[in-house]
Amino acid sequence: MEPKLRIAAITDEFSPTDLGVALDAMSAIGMTGAELRVVFGKNIMDLTEEELTQAEAMLDAKGFTVIAIASPILKCTLPNAPDVDTRFQQDMFNAKYTIDDLAKFLGAKVIRVFSYWRTVEPEKCFDAVISALKELADRAAEHDLIIGLENEHACNIATAAEATQALNALPHPNLMLVWDPANALVSGEVPFPGGYAGLPKDRIAHVHAKDCHMDGHKPVWGPVGTRDVDWKGQVAGLWNDGYRGWLSLETHWAGPGGDKFAGSTICGWNLRGLAAM
């Protein structure tokens, strides 16, 4: 069956060094959207003009639409904030980029951002997070871009409830949500139907797909649709609520025997089946 919702992937989940390998695998699954984070072994923000031109040519040749830049903006420590919550792993991206730079990248309209590393008192960071998001959204408006705030378990906006609070506090047309149900699960929330039910559905710009179950505070990642996120219900809920954006694979699972490419391929086919409903 053909997917009702369009499917995509963060390309480096298939290969962080060989974009061609990633695109071929994604195309075979039926994916037509590409989300860019690490390309040619570099963060997308660090590519040279020549490398960007090369990536653009490869994407065009294989018929891919660049749907989002998975930037690391605001995935950093908030100055003068409470201590960082060390229960959550923090992957290290250098978050020192501007919307002006991002606007030039390959025609993507959604720029994924975060809400600073989660502290032991995230509520005390809320005003600073909203202030930073407003600045980003104002600048994005100048370029007809969308700032996509991802609910990230290691950051101050982690759950659907926290994301809803942030979106309600900043009703900016250029601020929307990158909804990640698995991140909400890691944060202690039931993402669907629980957390999702309270989200402002018209503010969901993009959806990340991965799956896990919890072992204490530690997520154990696995194939999409086989763990504790109700992906079947979530996809149907999105469709019924009028979402017509992308489902973008962010595998996280190391794959069978540590073979990440195989893991992403398995997850990609699972996602295709879920998207067909």
- For β-strands 38-39 and 42-43, DSSP reports them as antiparallel
pLDDT at position 88 is: 44
pLDDT at position 79 is: 72
Q: How large is the average pLDDT for residues 123-152? A: 94
pLDDT at position 104 is: 64
Per-residue confidence at 81, pLDDT binned at 50, 70, 90?
low
Q: How large is the average pLDDT for residues 126-153? A: 94
Per-residue confidence at 91, pLDDT binned at 50, 70, 90?
very low
What is the dotted CATH code of the domain comprising 6-276?
3.20.20.150
Helices (H), the chain: 19-29, 49-61, 99-102, 126-141, 160-169, 181-186, 196-197, 231-240, 260-276
Neighbours of 147 (CB within 10 A): 30
pLDDT tens by residue, 191-238: 999 999 999 999 999 999 999 999 998 999 999 999 999 999 999 999
Per-residue confidence at 100, pLDDT binned at 50, 70, 90?
low
> Domain map of the chain by residue range?
6-276
Q: 194-229 as b/e, with b when 16 or more CB fall inside 10 Å? A: ebbeebeeebbbbbbbbbbeeeeeebebbbbbebbb
Cβ neighbours of residue 256 closer than 8 Å, sequence gap 6 or more: 262, 263, 266
Q: How large is the average pLDDT for residues 81-92? A: 51
Residue with tokens 């669907």: 192
Is residue 92 over pLDDT 90? no
pLDDT at position 95 is: 39
